[in-house]
Structure 1
Amino acid sequence: RFVELSGIVPYRTHWRFAVFQHSGINRPPPGTGIKVYFKDSKGNLLKTVEANEGDDILAMAHEYDIDLEGACEGSVACSTCHVILPPEYYDLLPEPEDDENDMLDMAFGLTDTSRLGCQVKLTRELDGLTATLPSATRNMFVDG
């Protein structure tokens, strides 16, 4: 016997699977993770989160419901996960690759310490990092 399914069920199942696959974040026990402070463009604290080593800023923002778009889902094909980092933390990161720099060139509000959140892999050395979200993003797929 077969049960007829509406067109919505396969979509919802796929959608849930895609979110599970994309996120893949295991939140660390409270007080044991790498602290990341998310601020808005005016410097107001949005949320303090804890991450594991190897997590990236974009994934953490999505896990904790912070409004960081990530239109390309971390494939370095947009600049919608652009964040601004304090110089002392920016200097701890490896230099951005050419593809990241190409996307950053299109980012709204680019600064000397701008990075794509999807490319910032967290380490213990980055504990206490503040990621400031710019006042706007430029999504070339939508904005042209």
Structure 2
Amino acid sequence: MTRVLFVCLGNICRSPSAEAVFRGLVRERGLEDTILTDSAGTGAWHVGNPPDERAQLVGRHYGYDMSDLRARKVEDTDFAEFDYILAMDNSNFRNLERMRPSAYAGTLAMMMDFAGRNGEEVPDPYYGDLSDYETVFDMLKPAAEGLLAHILDEMKK
């Protein structure tokens, strides 16, 4: 089982959107028994809440249902449980680097690295409008496809 965790600040916009897009690709290929997905935030402000209504609205428009997701905070144990931990921006990446135990053997990376856009951030749409959420989904799709291709290549080795 390969385990993937998507991380942003509050776990109500970008990381649940990334999880929904990636989970959709995993389901399309019938890999639910092989790849597990989750998302979390480095902050705890929204723990227990569903994704932002705007993220859900745009997600549904793109064919992704994320109504079952609930925000949670990144825990130290996530480094023992997840093979891939993917940050949406530099600030959260740095927070995760500080949390990462020296023995972590998984991959800690930026989400957009898997779209060939190394170091690029997925912008936070929280203070924007629906077009900002659409931009996020448009960015996440090629990154999720690249991530899945990478994981499938690694599984072949």
Q: TM-score, normalised by structure 1?
A: 0.30
Q: TM-score, normalised by structure 2?
A: 0.28
More helix by share: 2
Q: Which has the larger radius of gyration?
A: 1
